[in-house]
Structure 1
Amino acid sequence: MDILPANFTTGLSGVQPTRSATRQYATAAVAMHWLMAFAIVGLFAFGLYMHDLPLSPWKLRAYSWHKWAGVSIFGLAVVRLAWRIYNRPPELPPHMGRAERFIAHSGHSLLYLLMFTIPLSGWLMSSAKGFQTVLFGVLPLPDLLSKNKELGDMLQTVHWSLNLVLAILVAGHVAAALKHHFVDRDDVLARMLPRLGKSR
């Protein structure tokens, strides 16, 4: 379950990260992986739920929670990417062919990209629709765009479309992990399970 191609982080930082000598992921990497996973799935489900709610104070409150949760996920994604740059994951299993490795790297790179672009598109949409994002209900964040209904509607479509792409990628990610565990019988899934994460 390598996250990004080997040359990606080198290009960002100019420093070659150290490849882990162990087959396990670090405890911090495991914790961030599962925290992000549950947060993204939960926020996606909550977004589906609130979308069809009738206009009411509860719907407005739900949208507010959804927005600050999205901003929080954006912050977690920044932390996770920073960790990833300086802490390379274990090598992929040697039995994986070039095509399979390319798919794995590409899929993980797209997941990272969406972890940033989806919250950003939601923030832009909220700004264009004239609704300020207030983090945790107490810290107003600056609007990124001036109010513009047409642009807001377009960004809403973009935000929804990106979420659908994310759902497909997550489903593929889960399917690949299960394939590694039950078909290939390697340790790709096992080494990311919380009970097997080790500090380093």
Structure 2
Amino acid sequence: MITAATPRRRWSGVGQVLHWTCAGLILFMLGLGLYMVEWVDDPAQKFDLYQLHKTTGAFVFLLMAIRALWRLFTAAPALPQTMPRHEQLISKGVHLLLYGLIFGVLIAGYVYVSASTLPLPIELPGGYHVPNLVAPDYELSESAKVVHHRLAFVLMALVGLHILAALKHRLWDRDEVLQSMLPGRG
């Protein structure tokens, strides 16, 4: 039983579901983005993949907004006492940077498609759509595209670092950092 004097050692089920759902969708989006830009030549297939990417991006934005709001009111589990202070600070910084990059990639993508000279709104299930943010503007669209792509590559690198850090905690440090985000008893 956890008392006020005993810090929580695991993320709640809500936190775990939000984390793993967002993580899976973001990895899917990064992979899909690379695939559709670098390897798809068929215009019809590329169009369909872009539409899927845009729709999924809107869903990721919604989930990340929920997650960020939830996180504002939920304290993180205590980090291991054996974890050096500099690693604790790096961990907090990387998590803030992850949130910032995720929202940055999503917003840049939204501006990119909104300002496109082919102003197709983001389609949602049920026939709904997300309206374009701005009027068509080729230069703005191209600038937002560059920002979207560059931030996505930085995000990929940071996600890789995050995964490596989780594995370090499990395999090298043998502490409970990774387990705190895994389902199961704690």
Task: Kindly indicate whether residue 25 of structure 2 is the aligned counterpart of residue 39 of structure 1.
Answer: yes
1:158-193: per-residue Cα shift (whole Å, max 9, x none)?
Answer: 000110111111111011111111111110011211
The answer (yes or no) to whether the contact 1:19–1:90 under 8 Å persists in 2 is no
The answer (yes or no) to whether the contact 2:55–2:124 under 8 Å persists in 1 is yes
Which amino acid in structure 1 is aligned with residue 184 of structure 2? R
TM-score under structure 1 length normalisation:
0.84
The answer (yes or no) to whether the contact 1:20–1:87 under 8 Å persists in 2 is no
| RMSD over aligned Cα atoms | 1.9
Distance in 2 separating the partners of 1:55 and 1:40: 24
Which residues of structure 2 form unaligned runs of 5+?
Answer: none
Which amino acid in structure 1 is aligned with residue 53 of structure 2? H
1:196 offset after TM fit, Å?
3.9
Distance in 1 separating the partners of 2:154 and 2:96: 13
Distance in 2 separating the partners of 1:45 and 1:173: 17
Distance in 2 separating the partners of 1:192 and 1:20: 18
TM-score under structure 2 length normalisation:
0.90
Alignment of 1:34-183 (within 5 A): 34-52=20-38, 53-129=40-116, 130-136=119-125, 138-183=127-172
1:68 offset after TM fit, Å?
0.9
Which residues of structure 1 form unaligned runs of 5+?
Answer: 1-17
Identity %: 35
Which amino acid in structure 2 is aligned with residue 61 of structure 1? D
The answer (yes or no) to whether the contact 1:64–1:137 under 8 Å persists in 2 is no
Worse-superposed segment, 112-121 or 132-141: 132-141
**Distance of aligned partners of 1:80 and 1:19 in 2 relative to their CA distance in 1, 3 Å threshold:** farther
1:136 offset after TM fit, Å?
3.1
Distance in 1 separating the partners of 2:88 and 2:163: 16
* Runs of 4 or more consecutive aligned structure 1 residues displaced over 3 Å after TM superposition: 18-21
1:88 offset after TM fit, Å?
0.8
| Higher RCO, 1 vs 2 (CA within 8 Å, ≥6 residues apart) | 1
Distance in 1 separating the partners of 2:155 and 2:185: 27
The answer (yes or no) to whether the contact 1:43–1:69 under 8 Å persists in 2 is yes
**Distance of aligned partners of 1:67 and 1:147 in 2 relative to their CA distance in 1, 3 Å threshold:** same
Aligned residues between the structures: 180
Alignment of 1:10-49 (within 5 A): 21-49=7-35
Which amino acid in structure 2 is aligned with residue 46 of structure 1? L
